[in-house]
Amino acid sequence: MLSSTFIENLGRMIPKENIILNESMSRHTTFRVGGEAACLIKVPNNEKLARLILFLDQTGHEYFLIGNGSNLLVSDNGYDGIILKLVEQFEEVYTDGLKIIAGAAAPLAQVAKLAMEEGLTGMEFASGIPGTLGGAIVMNAGAYDGEMKQIVKEVNVMDQAGNILTLNNETMEFGYRSSVIRNRPFIVLSAVLELEEGDKEEIKRKMKELAERRREKQPLEYASAGSTFKRPEGYFAGKLIMEAGLRGFSIGGAKVSDKHCGFIVNTGNATAQDIYEVIQEVQERVKDQFGVLLEPEVIRLGRF
């Protein structure tokens, strides 16, 4: 329970309409599950973000930053901390020659569409990834032989003291589904993407082709968090899950996709606990049969 004094102090820093108490996280995750967060705050700009994180640190309130919630599983029991969601300034996107400058909250698909419209190539792989730019940078999101590492020139981040730093591509230490930000208390604010001049119609054709491949191979008709597990070295997660006899395995409304075993989907009435238990069962069976521990890409938040 958040005190009235705490809420009043928040209201002095953030517009009151941007402060939402007891917000259902099922509205903010692509799994469409999850209990209530004690408070969700929509943060409109760098200045208010800096003041807010200093205040939360000083008052000892736990907080978690979300984008589109496309890689997040929130407990049915909810989250006792503060959810921060970047809006307004953080959603801005514009071009500068061969560069795209975009805020962390800009949807990745929107940034890829702008690149196409401006005849800039190199970002086609990202057109079907459902997250925001910030989340994609943190996890070095990728698909179809492309990844953020290939196009990120620099990233503006904020540290816990409210200082803004600029990290270049090398400093970001991009790896498979990882970056330096995964292990540092930085918040992505914006990024500069460096692309190449291309043919608009060819870019559009490639994006359409990738979209068709996704529809054919991925269970886009269901709520999910995309690929549930990281690719283990030397293996493919989906193939291991299939060979473990888990295609279509379900608990409650959560199910290993029949179309792509690397996806766990919400068939319509799943709880977060259902999804969590399917993840656990998949991990246990694959470990028992093949000696491989599958590491989830999905981040869990709250008590399971």
Q: List residues bridging with 199 in a β-sheet.
A: none
Q: Are 166 and 154 in contact (CB under 8 A)?
A: yes
Q: 57 by DSSP, 3-state: which?
A: helix
Whole-number Å distance between alpha carbons of 208 and 213: 9
Catalytic residue among 26, 190, 227, 257: 227
State the sign of the Cα–Cα–Cα–Cα dihedral 44, 45, 50, 51. Answer: negative
Show the DSSP H helices in the chain as ranges: 4-13, 46-59, 108-117, 133-138, 200-217, 237-243, 272-290
Q: Tokens 């003041």 map to which residue?
A: 51
Catalytic residue among 147, 177, 224, 257: 177
Q: Is 297 a catalytic residue?
A: yes
Whole-number Å distance between alpha carbons of 292 and 282: 11
Q: Is 227 a catalytic residue?
A: yes
| Residues annotated as part of the active site | 177, 227, 297
